Amino acid sequence: MAEPTIVLVHGAFADASSWSRLYAELAGDGLKIKAPPNPLRGVTVADAEYTNCVIEQIEGPVLLVGHSYGGAVITAAGVADNVAGLVYVAGFAPDEGEDLGTLQSNFPAPVAGPYIKPSPLPDGGAEFTIDPSGFHEAFCADLPDAEAAFMAISQRPLSGVAFGEKAPAAAWRTRPSWAVLPTADGAIHPDVHRFSYDRMGATVTVVEGASHVVMLSRPSIVADVVREAVRGVR
């Protein structure tokens, strides 16, 4: 198989710059990498469809890497014919017909729970952000204060649709998968990850004490997982 193109799909309350340190780790490896924007408007309504458009324009195999909510997006988009594998970085991994709200509700509430706040949209819906007062603790506890403060004021909101929309497919059932599990994740309870990654039979790398943004705080570890996945899908 040809060398895969790595497509990095960011999660909620962040943007593609959240992959900057992982990119820096991988830049010298000669790998083809794309980090497109994730609309954050709903798993199937916008986000998986947009990611599919990105995938369709790539010649050859694709390795999808999803962080946080981006894990749900690659779970849906990963059924595209040229997707060779999946990497979950503290990412949701729903099964077909499962929604994120229900999946999370089966486990203890994450640290972020009390800080997630809605804002109304003109169409009557709502989008959600993490209150800046709790952003550092819940999202990126192992990053410096100044960096966390900027991330808090520049976060991108997630549409409320995303919490209740059922996954249209589960690509991990037909694709090899790898996962990075940070044990101090405050945005998605680590028990959600343990259950999901065990269910999918993923090759799991546990990162003790790492926060939700493990690709920023421990980029070398995440880079090694991506390299392992590249070798695994060649």
Give the tens place of pLDDT for each residue, 21-40: 999 999 999 999 999 999 99
> 1 pLDDT band (50/70/90 cuts)?
low
CA–CA dist 5, 34 (Å, integer): 7
Distance CA 26, CA 86 (A): 17
DSSP state letters, 58-86: S-S-EEEEEETHHHHHHHHHTTSTTEEEE
Amino acid of residue 45:
V
Per-residue pLDDT tens for 49-70? Answer: 999 999 999 999 999 999 999 9
pLDDT at residue 68, rounded to an integer:
98
pTM of the model: 0.97
From 39, 78, 46, select the one nearest 62 (Cα to Cα). Answer: 78
Above 80 in pLDDT, residue 45? no
pLDDT of residue 150: 98
Residue 156 to residue 40: CA distance in whole angstroms:
8
Which are the contacts of 168, defined by CB distance < 8 A and separation ≥ 6?
43, 44, 48, 76, 96
Give 128-158 pLDDT, tens digit per residue.
999 999 999 999 999 999 999 999 999 999 9
Average pLDDT in the chain: 97
Give me the pLDDT at residue 44, please.
Answer: 81
Mean pLDDT of 188-209: 98
| Percent of the residues in the chain that have a pLDDT greater than 70, as a whole number | 100
Query: Cα(98)–Cα(119) distance, rounded to whole angstroms?
Result: 25
Q: Is the pLDDT of residue 125 over 70?
A: yes
CA–CA gap between residue 23 and residue 34 (Å, rounded): 9
Alpha carbons 147 and 135: distance in angstroms, whole number: 11
Tell which CATH classification among 3.40.50.1820, 3.20.20.150, 3.40.50.720, 3.90.1150.10 matches the domain 5-233.
Answer: 3.40.50.1820
pLDDT tens across 161-193, in order? 999 999 999 999 999 999 999 999 999 999 999
Which is nearest to 158 in space by CA: 62, 92, 218? 92
